[in-house]
Amino acid sequence: MIEKKDAPSNLAESEEANNQEQYKSTSFIQKLKAEIQTKSMNFNANDTVFPANGLPQVILDFGLEISEVYGVPIEFPVLSALCAVSSAIRKKFVLDSGKYRNFGQLWLMFVAPPGVGKTEPVAAAFRPLQRLDNLSYDAYQVELSNWKMECSEAKQNKSQEPEKPFFKQCLIDDFTPESLYQTMFRNNGAVSLCRDELSGWFADFGRYNKSGEISRYLSIFNNAQFCINRKSEEPLQIPEPFMTICGTIQPEVLNIALNNNSLKENGFASRFLYVYPKEIKKQKYSEKTPNRIILDRYEELIKHCYYLPRSENPFILSTEAKTLFIEYANHTADLVNNCSNNFLRATYAKMEIQVLRLALVIQIIRGIYDNSEWQQGKITKEAIQYAINLCRYFNSNVIHVENVETTNKTTPVEAIKIIQKEYGIKNKQTFADAIGLTRQYISKICNE
Protein backbone atom coordinates (compact mmCIF):
# COMPACT_ATOMS: atom_id res chain seq x y z
CA MET A 1 0.00 0.00 0.00
CA ILE A 2 1.32 3.47 -0.79
CA GLU A 3 2.26 5.87 1.94
CA LYS A 4 -0.70 8.14 2.51
CA LYS A 5 -0.28 11.89 2.62
CA ASP A 6 -1.56 13.79 5.61
CA ALA A 7 -5.31 14.20 5.67
CA PRO A 8 -6.65 17.34 3.99
CA SER A 9 -5.58 20.35 6.01
CA ASN A 10 -9.13 21.42 6.83
CA LEU A 11 -9.58 18.20 8.74
CA ALA A 12 -6.04 17.82 10.12
CA GLU A 13 -6.21 17.26 13.87
CA SER A 14 -3.40 19.68 14.60
CA GLU A 15 -5.18 22.52 12.83
CA GLU A 16 -8.82 21.92 13.68
CA ALA A 17 -8.87 20.01 16.93
CA ASN A 18 -11.78 22.08 18.18
CA ASN A 19 -13.79 21.36 15.07
CA GLN A 20 -13.10 17.65 15.44
CA GLU A 21 -14.43 17.67 19.01
CA GLN A 22 -17.50 19.50 17.78
CA TYR A 23 -18.01 16.82 15.11
CA LYS A 24 -17.88 14.09 17.73
CA SER A 25 -20.65 15.72 19.73
CA THR A 26 -22.85 16.58 16.75
CA SER A 27 -22.27 13.50 14.60
CA PHE A 28 -25.36 11.70 15.92
CA ILE A 29 -27.52 14.79 15.43
CA GLN A 30 -26.27 15.20 11.85
CA LYS A 31 -26.98 11.58 10.99
CA LEU A 32 -30.43 11.78 12.59
CA LYS A 33 -31.12 14.95 10.64
CA ALA A 34 -30.11 13.21 7.42
CA GLU A 35 -32.38 10.24 8.10
CA ILE A 36 -35.36 12.48 8.89
CA GLN A 37 -34.75 14.54 5.77
CA THR A 38 -34.53 11.58 3.41
CA LYS A 39 -37.66 10.00 4.85
CA SER A 40 -39.66 13.23 4.69
CA MET A 41 -38.64 14.13 1.12
CA ASN A 42 -38.68 10.69 -0.50
CA PHE A 43 -41.13 8.53 1.41
CA ASN A 44 -42.96 6.03 -0.74
CA ALA A 45 -44.29 2.69 0.42
CA ASN A 46 -42.55 0.91 -2.47
CA ASP A 47 -39.24 2.79 -2.20
CA THR A 48 -36.05 2.10 -0.31
CA VAL A 49 -35.12 5.23 1.64
CA PHE A 50 -31.71 6.63 0.75
CA PRO A 51 -29.19 5.41 3.36
CA ALA A 52 -27.39 8.31 5.03
CA ASN A 53 -26.10 6.37 8.03
CA GLY A 54 -22.66 5.04 7.11
CA LEU A 55 -21.49 7.98 5.03
CA PRO A 56 -18.05 9.48 5.72
CA GLN A 57 -18.61 12.65 7.75
CA VAL A 58 -17.21 15.05 5.16
CA ILE A 59 -19.63 13.72 2.51
CA LEU A 60 -22.57 13.74 4.93
CA ASP A 61 -21.88 17.37 5.90
CA PHE A 62 -21.62 18.40 2.25
CA GLY A 63 -24.81 16.55 1.35
CA LEU A 64 -26.83 18.04 4.20
CA GLU A 65 -25.63 21.56 3.44
CA ILE A 66 -26.32 21.49 -0.30
CA SER A 67 -29.63 19.70 0.26
CA GLU A 68 -30.83 22.33 2.71
CA VAL A 69 -29.61 25.32 0.69
CA TYR A 70 -31.12 24.21 -2.63
CA GLY A 71 -34.09 22.22 -1.37
CA VAL A 72 -33.18 18.93 -3.03
CA PRO A 73 -33.10 15.34 -1.72
CA ILE A 74 -29.86 14.62 0.11
CA GLU A 75 -28.96 11.83 -2.31
CA PHE A 76 -28.43 14.39 -5.09
CA PRO A 77 -25.40 16.11 -3.52
CA VAL A 78 -24.14 12.98 -1.73
CA LEU A 79 -24.02 10.79 -4.82
CA SER A 80 -22.68 13.66 -6.94
CA ALA A 81 -19.86 13.96 -4.41
CA LEU A 82 -19.08 10.23 -4.61
CA CYS A 83 -18.88 10.56 -8.40
CA ALA A 84 -16.55 13.54 -8.00
CA VAL A 85 -14.28 11.51 -5.70
CA SER A 86 -14.35 8.70 -8.25
CA SER A 87 -13.32 11.17 -10.96
CA ALA A 88 -10.52 12.56 -8.79
CA ILE A 89 -8.90 9.22 -7.93
CA ARG A 90 -9.29 7.85 -11.48
CA LYS A 91 -7.20 4.67 -11.92
CA LYS A 92 -4.90 5.21 -8.95
CA PHE A 93 -6.55 2.49 -6.88
CA VAL A 94 -8.02 -0.86 -7.78
CA LEU A 95 -9.98 -3.42 -5.78
CA ASP A 96 -9.08 -7.05 -6.41
CA SER A 97 -11.83 -9.28 -5.03
CA GLY A 98 -10.12 -12.48 -6.16
CA LYS A 99 -12.40 -12.84 -9.19
CA TYR A 100 -12.73 -9.23 -10.36
CA ARG A 101 -10.52 -6.16 -10.59
CA ASN A 102 -12.43 -2.90 -10.31
CA PHE A 103 -11.58 0.77 -10.29
CA GLY A 104 -13.91 3.14 -8.48
CA GLN A 105 -15.69 3.93 -11.74
CA LEU A 106 -19.35 4.99 -11.47
CA TRP A 107 -22.06 5.65 -14.05
CA LEU A 108 -24.77 7.65 -12.33
CA MET A 109 -27.85 9.43 -13.62
CA PHE A 110 -30.17 11.83 -11.75
CA VAL A 111 -33.71 11.54 -13.09
CA ALA A 112 -36.10 14.34 -12.13
CA PRO A 113 -38.56 16.73 -13.78
CA PRO A 114 -37.44 20.23 -14.80
CA GLY A 115 -37.35 23.04 -12.28
CA VAL A 116 -36.74 21.01 -9.10
CA GLY A 117 -33.09 22.00 -8.68
CA LYS A 118 -31.21 18.89 -9.82
CA THR A 119 -28.49 20.90 -11.59
CA GLU A 120 -26.79 22.70 -8.69
CA PRO A 121 -25.93 19.64 -6.55
CA VAL A 122 -23.97 18.13 -9.44
CA ALA A 123 -22.31 21.47 -10.20
CA ALA A 124 -21.36 22.02 -6.56
CA ALA A 125 -19.85 18.55 -6.25
CA PHE A 126 -17.75 18.86 -9.41
CA ARG A 127 -16.76 22.51 -9.00
CA PRO A 128 -13.45 21.68 -7.26
CA LEU A 129 -12.47 19.42 -10.16
CA GLN A 130 -13.47 22.10 -12.63
CA ARG A 131 -11.15 24.52 -10.86
CA LEU A 132 -8.32 21.99 -11.05
CA ASP A 133 -8.95 21.58 -14.77
CA ASN A 134 -8.90 25.37 -15.17
CA LEU A 135 -5.47 25.54 -13.52
CA SER A 136 -4.26 22.73 -15.76
CA TYR A 137 -5.57 24.52 -18.85
CA ASP A 138 -3.75 27.73 -17.89
CA ALA A 139 -0.53 25.74 -17.52
CA TYR A 140 -1.18 24.08 -20.88
CA GLN A 141 -1.55 27.48 -22.58
CA VAL A 142 1.83 28.55 -21.22
CA GLU A 143 3.42 25.28 -22.37
CA LEU A 144 1.80 25.65 -25.79
CA SER A 145 3.14 29.18 -26.19
CA ASN A 146 6.64 28.03 -25.24
CA TRP A 147 6.35 25.08 -27.61
CA LYS A 148 5.50 27.34 -30.54
CA MET A 149 8.58 29.46 -29.86
CA GLU A 150 10.75 26.37 -29.58
CA CYS A 151 9.34 25.05 -32.86
CA SER A 152 10.19 28.34 -34.55
CA GLU A 153 13.73 28.13 -33.26
CA ALA A 154 14.02 24.49 -34.31
CA LYS A 155 12.89 25.41 -37.83
CA GLN A 156 15.51 28.12 -38.07
CA ASN A 157 18.20 25.79 -36.73
CA LYS A 158 16.90 22.91 -38.87
CA SER A 159 16.68 20.74 -35.78
CA GLN A 160 13.97 18.39 -34.56
CA GLU A 161 10.86 20.03 -33.17
CA PRO A 162 9.97 19.31 -29.52
CA GLU A 163 6.96 17.16 -28.69
CA LYS A 164 3.72 19.12 -28.59
CA PRO A 165 2.23 19.49 -25.08
CA PHE A 166 -1.31 18.39 -24.33
CA PHE A 167 -4.07 19.46 -21.99
CA LYS A 168 -4.04 17.26 -18.88
CA GLN A 169 -7.71 17.22 -18.02
CA CYS A 170 -10.01 15.32 -15.73
CA LEU A 171 -13.47 16.33 -16.99
CA ILE A 172 -15.07 16.40 -20.43
CA ASP A 173 -18.46 17.63 -21.54
CA ASP A 174 -19.13 18.01 -25.28
CA PHE A 175 -17.05 15.80 -27.57
CA THR A 176 -16.98 13.55 -30.61
CA PRO A 177 -16.03 9.87 -30.30
CA GLU A 178 -12.66 10.54 -31.94
CA SER A 179 -11.84 13.40 -29.57
CA LEU A 180 -12.88 11.23 -26.62
CA TYR A 181 -10.42 8.52 -27.59
CA GLN A 182 -7.66 11.08 -28.14
CA THR A 183 -8.36 12.66 -24.75
CA MET A 184 -8.35 9.30 -23.00
CA PHE A 185 -5.10 8.32 -24.71
CA ARG A 186 -3.36 11.52 -23.57
CA ASN A 187 -4.67 11.25 -20.01
CA ASN A 188 -3.62 7.73 -19.08
CA GLY A 189 -6.90 6.30 -20.31
CA ALA A 190 -8.98 8.12 -17.69
CA VAL A 191 -11.49 10.97 -18.06
CA SER A 192 -14.93 11.67 -16.58
CA LEU A 193 -18.10 12.98 -18.15
CA CYS A 194 -20.03 15.52 -16.08
CA ARG A 195 -22.96 16.99 -17.98
CA ASP A 196 -25.92 18.95 -16.71
CA GLU A 197 -28.30 17.44 -19.28
CA LEU A 198 -27.35 14.00 -20.52
CA SER A 199 -30.00 14.30 -23.23
CA GLY A 200 -27.43 16.07 -25.43
CA TRP A 201 -25.00 13.21 -24.99
CA PHE A 202 -27.67 10.65 -25.92
CA ALA A 203 -28.66 12.76 -28.95
CA ASP A 204 -25.08 12.57 -30.24
CA PHE A 205 -25.05 8.76 -30.33
CA GLY A 206 -24.39 7.75 -33.93
CA ARG A 207 -24.11 11.36 -35.08
CA TYR A 208 -20.40 11.23 -35.87
CA ASN A 209 -19.71 7.54 -36.28
CA LYS A 210 -22.28 4.93 -37.23
CA SER A 211 -20.14 1.95 -36.29
CA GLY A 212 -19.68 0.73 -32.76
CA GLU A 213 -20.06 3.80 -30.54
CA ILE A 214 -22.35 2.09 -28.05
CA SER A 215 -20.22 -1.06 -27.97
CA ARG A 216 -17.19 1.11 -27.21
CA TYR A 217 -18.93 2.52 -24.14
CA LEU A 218 -19.71 -1.02 -23.03
CA SER A 219 -16.00 -1.80 -23.26
CA ILE A 220 -15.16 1.30 -21.26
CA PHE A 221 -17.59 0.29 -18.52
CA ASN A 222 -15.83 -3.07 -18.31
CA ASN A 223 -12.40 -1.34 -18.37
CA ALA A 224 -11.58 -3.56 -21.36
CA GLN A 225 -8.59 -2.51 -23.48
CA PHE A 226 -9.32 -1.29 -26.99
CA CYS A 227 -7.32 -0.01 -29.93
CA ILE A 228 -8.42 2.65 -32.43
CA ASN A 229 -7.00 2.30 -35.96
CA ARG A 230 -7.67 5.09 -38.42
CA LYS A 231 -6.30 5.70 -41.88
CA SER A 232 -3.28 8.06 -41.97
CA GLU A 233 -3.18 8.18 -38.15
CA GLU A 234 -1.14 6.36 -35.57
CA PRO A 235 -3.10 3.65 -33.71
CA LEU A 236 -4.34 4.51 -30.23
CA GLN A 237 -4.18 1.68 -27.73
CA ILE A 238 -5.98 2.39 -24.46
CA PRO A 239 -5.45 -0.24 -21.76
CA GLU A 240 -8.02 -0.37 -18.95
CA PRO A 241 -10.07 2.68 -20.03
CA PHE A 242 -11.78 4.55 -17.20
CA MET A 243 -14.75 6.89 -17.46
CA THR A 244 -17.01 7.98 -14.63
CA ILE A 245 -20.31 9.46 -15.88
CA CYS A 246 -22.52 11.82 -13.89
CA GLY A 247 -25.41 13.91 -15.16
CA THR A 248 -29.08 14.79 -15.04
CA ILE A 249 -32.03 13.97 -17.27
CA GLN A 250 -35.79 14.41 -17.28
CA PRO A 251 -37.98 11.27 -16.97
CA GLU A 252 -39.69 11.66 -20.34
CA VAL A 253 -36.40 12.40 -22.11
CA LEU A 254 -34.80 9.34 -20.52
CA ASN A 255 -37.64 7.15 -21.75
CA ILE A 256 -37.23 8.45 -25.31
CA ALA A 257 -33.43 8.16 -25.24
CA LEU A 258 -33.45 4.57 -24.02
CA ASN A 259 -36.09 3.48 -26.53
CA ASN A 260 -34.68 5.35 -29.55
CA ASN A 261 -31.25 3.80 -29.21
CA SER A 262 -32.33 0.33 -28.00
CA LEU A 263 -30.20 1.00 -24.92
CA LYS A 264 -32.18 -1.38 -22.73
CA GLU A 265 -31.82 -4.23 -25.18
CA ASN A 266 -28.06 -3.86 -25.77
CA GLY A 267 -27.17 -3.63 -22.07
CA PHE A 268 -26.08 0.00 -22.03
CA ALA A 269 -28.90 1.25 -19.79
CA SER A 270 -28.41 -1.54 -17.25
CA ARG A 271 -24.91 -0.27 -16.45
CA PHE A 272 -26.17 2.95 -14.88
CA LEU A 273 -27.08 3.66 -11.28
CA TYR A 274 -30.30 5.68 -11.26
CA VAL A 275 -31.21 8.33 -8.70
CA TYR A 276 -34.93 8.63 -9.29
CA PRO A 277 -37.05 9.93 -6.37
CA LYS A 278 -40.70 9.67 -7.39
CA GLU A 279 -42.25 12.43 -5.31
CA ILE A 280 -39.89 15.36 -5.75
CA LYS A 281 -41.21 18.91 -5.76
CA LYS A 282 -39.64 22.33 -6.07
CA GLN A 283 -39.12 23.78 -2.60
CA LYS A 284 -39.96 27.31 -1.48
CA TYR A 285 -37.18 29.90 -1.74
CA SER A 286 -34.71 29.94 1.13
CA GLU A 287 -32.26 32.72 1.95
CA LYS A 288 -29.77 30.23 3.36
CA THR A 289 -26.39 30.22 1.61
CA PRO A 290 -23.78 27.45 1.65
CA ASN A 291 -21.47 27.28 4.65
CA ARG A 292 -18.02 28.16 3.32
CA ILE A 293 -16.23 26.01 5.88
CA ILE A 294 -18.14 22.91 4.78
CA LEU A 295 -17.52 23.63 1.09
CA ASP A 296 -13.81 24.28 1.71
CA ARG A 297 -13.49 21.05 3.67
CA TYR A 298 -15.10 19.12 0.82
CA GLU A 299 -12.88 20.83 -1.75
CA GLU A 300 -9.81 19.87 0.26
CA LEU A 301 -10.94 16.24 0.06
CA ILE A 302 -11.29 16.39 -3.74
CA LYS A 303 -7.89 18.06 -4.17
CA HIS A 304 -6.31 15.52 -1.85
CA CYS A 305 -7.73 12.63 -3.90
CA TYR A 306 -6.67 14.31 -7.13
CA TYR A 307 -3.02 14.58 -6.08
CA LEU A 308 -2.68 11.17 -4.42
CA PRO A 309 -0.01 9.02 -6.11
CA ARG A 310 -0.95 5.77 -7.82
CA SER A 311 -0.87 2.65 -5.67
CA GLU A 312 0.99 -0.39 -6.94
CA ASN A 313 -0.85 -2.71 -4.56
CA PRO A 314 -4.58 -3.40 -4.94
CA PHE A 315 -7.13 -3.15 -2.17
CA ILE A 316 -8.54 -6.49 -1.10
CA LEU A 317 -11.65 -7.45 0.84
CA SER A 318 -11.23 -8.01 4.54
CA THR A 319 -12.56 -11.33 5.85
CA GLU A 320 -15.72 -9.65 7.20
CA ALA A 321 -16.20 -7.65 3.99
CA LYS A 322 -15.83 -10.76 1.84
CA THR A 323 -18.50 -12.55 3.86
CA LEU A 324 -20.91 -9.64 3.35
CA PHE A 325 -20.05 -9.45 -0.34
CA ILE A 326 -20.73 -13.16 -0.92
CA GLU A 327 -24.09 -12.84 0.85
CA TYR A 328 -25.00 -9.88 -1.35
CA ALA A 329 -23.79 -11.63 -4.52
CA ASN A 330 -26.04 -14.59 -3.69
CA HIS A 331 -28.93 -12.22 -3.01
CA THR A 332 -28.30 -10.62 -6.41
CA ALA A 333 -28.39 -14.05 -8.06
CA ASP A 334 -31.82 -14.63 -6.51
CA LEU A 335 -33.03 -11.27 -7.83
CA VAL A 336 -31.88 -12.15 -11.33
CA ASN A 337 -33.34 -15.66 -11.27
CA ASN A 338 -36.72 -14.51 -9.95
CA CYS A 339 -37.15 -11.65 -12.44
CA SER A 340 -38.72 -12.01 -15.88
CA ASN A 341 -37.95 -8.47 -17.10
CA ASN A 342 -34.73 -8.55 -19.15
CA PHE A 343 -33.75 -4.94 -18.40
CA LEU A 344 -34.17 -5.43 -14.66
CA ARG A 345 -32.38 -8.78 -14.78
CA ALA A 346 -29.39 -7.19 -16.52
CA THR A 347 -29.33 -4.29 -14.04
CA TYR A 348 -29.51 -6.58 -11.01
CA ALA A 349 -26.71 -8.70 -12.46
CA LYS A 350 -24.41 -5.66 -12.64
CA MET A 351 -24.89 -4.88 -8.94
CA GLU A 352 -22.22 -7.42 -8.00
CA ILE A 353 -19.72 -5.15 -9.79
CA GLN A 354 -21.33 -1.89 -8.69
CA VAL A 355 -21.10 -2.76 -5.00
CA LEU A 356 -17.34 -3.34 -5.30
CA ARG A 357 -16.80 -0.04 -7.10
CA LEU A 358 -18.84 1.89 -4.56
CA ALA A 359 -17.05 0.17 -1.69
CA LEU A 360 -13.66 1.21 -3.09
CA VAL A 361 -14.69 4.88 -3.33
CA ILE A 362 -16.11 4.82 0.20
CA GLN A 363 -13.00 3.10 1.54
CA ILE A 364 -10.65 5.67 -0.03
CA ILE A 365 -12.55 8.48 1.72
CA ARG A 366 -12.60 6.60 5.03
CA GLY A 367 -8.90 5.84 4.80
CA ILE A 368 -7.94 9.46 4.15
CA TYR A 369 -9.30 10.37 7.58
CA ASP A 370 -8.32 7.14 9.36
CA ASN A 371 -4.69 6.15 9.00
CA SER A 372 -5.22 2.72 10.54
CA GLU A 373 -7.74 1.83 7.83
CA TRP A 374 -5.48 3.23 5.13
CA GLN A 375 -2.49 1.16 6.20
CA GLN A 376 -4.48 -2.07 6.09
CA GLY A 377 -5.17 -1.71 2.37
CA LYS A 378 -8.43 -3.59 2.82
CA ILE A 379 -12.12 -2.90 2.28
CA THR A 380 -13.71 -2.87 5.72
CA LYS A 381 -17.04 -4.40 6.60
CA GLU A 382 -18.38 -0.85 7.18
CA ALA A 383 -17.44 0.27 3.67
CA ILE A 384 -18.90 -2.79 1.94
CA GLN A 385 -22.06 -2.68 4.07
CA TYR A 386 -22.73 0.92 3.09
CA ALA A 387 -22.08 0.07 -0.56
CA ILE A 388 -24.61 -2.77 -0.26
CA ASN A 389 -27.16 -0.39 1.26
CA LEU A 390 -26.62 1.99 -1.66
CA CYS A 391 -27.15 -0.80 -4.19
CA ARG A 392 -30.41 -1.76 -2.52
CA TYR A 393 -31.49 1.85 -2.90
CA PHE A 394 -30.49 1.84 -6.58
CA ASN A 395 -32.39 -1.38 -7.18
CA SER A 396 -35.57 0.26 -5.94
CA ASN A 397 -34.95 3.21 -8.26
CA VAL A 398 -34.41 1.21 -11.43
CA ILE A 399 -37.99 -0.05 -11.23
CA HIS A 400 -39.08 3.56 -11.78
CA VAL A 401 -37.01 3.67 -14.96
CA GLU A 402 -38.72 0.59 -16.34
CA ASN A 403 -42.17 1.98 -15.48
CA VAL A 404 -41.54 5.59 -16.47
CA GLU A 405 -44.69 7.52 -17.24
CA THR A 406 -44.81 10.42 -19.63
CA THR A 407 -46.32 13.70 -18.49
CA ASN A 408 -47.46 14.39 -22.05
CA LYS A 409 -50.82 12.78 -21.36
CA THR A 410 -53.54 12.82 -23.98
CA THR A 411 -56.03 15.65 -23.50
CA PRO A 412 -59.82 14.99 -23.54
CA VAL A 413 -60.13 16.65 -26.93
CA GLU A 414 -57.32 14.51 -28.36
CA ALA A 415 -58.90 11.40 -26.86
CA ILE A 416 -62.28 12.15 -28.48
CA LYS A 417 -60.58 12.70 -31.86
CA ILE A 418 -58.72 9.40 -31.54
CA ILE A 419 -61.95 7.54 -30.73
CA GLN A 420 -63.71 9.18 -33.66
CA LYS A 421 -60.86 8.31 -36.04
CA GLU A 422 -60.33 4.73 -34.85
CA TYR A 423 -63.85 3.59 -34.08
CA GLY A 424 -66.28 6.30 -35.11
CA ILE A 425 -68.89 7.86 -32.81
CA LYS A 426 -72.22 6.72 -34.22
CA ASN A 427 -74.50 8.19 -31.54
CA LYS A 428 -73.03 11.48 -30.40
CA GLN A 429 -75.80 12.16 -27.88
CA THR A 430 -75.27 8.84 -26.06
CA PHE A 431 -71.51 9.35 -26.15
CA ALA A 432 -71.86 12.93 -24.80
CA ASP A 433 -74.15 11.82 -21.98
CA ALA A 434 -71.69 9.06 -21.02
CA ILE A 435 -68.77 11.45 -20.51
CA GLY A 436 -70.72 14.45 -19.22
CA LEU A 437 -70.44 16.77 -22.23
CA THR A 438 -72.97 18.27 -24.64
CA ARG A 439 -73.77 16.81 -28.04
CA GLN A 440 -72.91 20.12 -29.68
CA TYR A 441 -69.42 20.06 -28.18
CA ILE A 442 -68.81 16.48 -29.35
CA SER A 443 -70.02 17.35 -32.87
CA LYS A 444 -67.72 20.37 -33.00
CA ILE A 445 -64.68 18.31 -32.07
CA CYS A 446 -65.51 15.52 -34.52
CA ASN A 447 -66.01 17.99 -37.37
CA GLU A 448 -62.70 19.82 -36.82
Identify the pLDDT of residue 411.
Answer: 59
CA dist., res. 88 & res. 300, Å (int): 12
Q: Across residues 346-372, what is the average pLDDT? A: 96
Identify the pLDDT of residue 430.
Answer: 75
pLDDT > 50? residue 44:
no
Mean pLDDT of the chain: 85
Identify the pLDDT of residue 96.
Answer: 95
Identify the pLDDT of residue 47.
Answer: 57
CA dist., res. 338 & res. 252, Å (int): 28
Q: What is the pLDDT of residues 116-139, one digit of tens each?
A: 888 999 999 999 999 999 999 999
Beta bridge partners of 141: none
Helices 381-402, 319-337: axis angle to 10 degrees equals 20
Identify the pLDDT of residue 229.
Answer: 80
What per-residue string of b and e applies to 39-62 under the rule 16 or more CB within 10 Å gives b? Answer: eebbeeeebbbbbbebbbbbbbbb
Q: Across residues 59-86, what is the average pLDDT? A: 96
Q: What is the pLDDT of residues 334-345, one digit of tens each?
A: 999 999 999 999
Please answer whether residues 223 and 103 qualify as being in contact, where contact means their C-beta atoms are separated by less than 8 angstroms: yes
Q: What is the pLDDT of residues 224-245, one digit of tens each?
A: 998 888 766 778 899 999 999 9
Read off the pLDDT band of 280 (50, 70, 90): confident
Higher per-residue pLDDT: 382 or 161: 382
**Full-model pTM:** 0.81
What per-residue string of b and e applies to 355-369 under the rule 16 or more CB within 10 Å gives b? Answer: bbbbbbbbbbbbbbb
Q: What is the pLDDT of residues 160-212, one digit of tens each?
A: 989 999 999 999 988 888 889 999 999 999 999 999 889 888 887 766 555 57
Read off the pLDDT band of 299 (50, 70, 90): very high
The residue ranges of every structural domain in the chain are 9-133+241-402, 412-447
Identify the pLDDT of residue 214.
Answer: 87
Q: Across residues 434-442, what is the average pLDDT? A: 73
Read off the pLDDT band of 273 (50, 70, 90): very high
Cβ count near 247 (within 10 Å): 24
What top-level class would CATH report for the domain 9-133+241-402? alpha beta
CA dist., res. 349 & res. 355, Å (int): 11
CA dist., res. 305 & res. 321, Å (int): 23
Identify the pLDDT of residue 6.
Answer: 65
Q: Across residues 246-250, what is the average pLDDT? A: 94
Please answer whether residues 324 and 384 qualify as being in contact, where contact means their C-beta atoms are separated by less than 8 angstroms: yes
pLDDT > 60? residue 9:
no
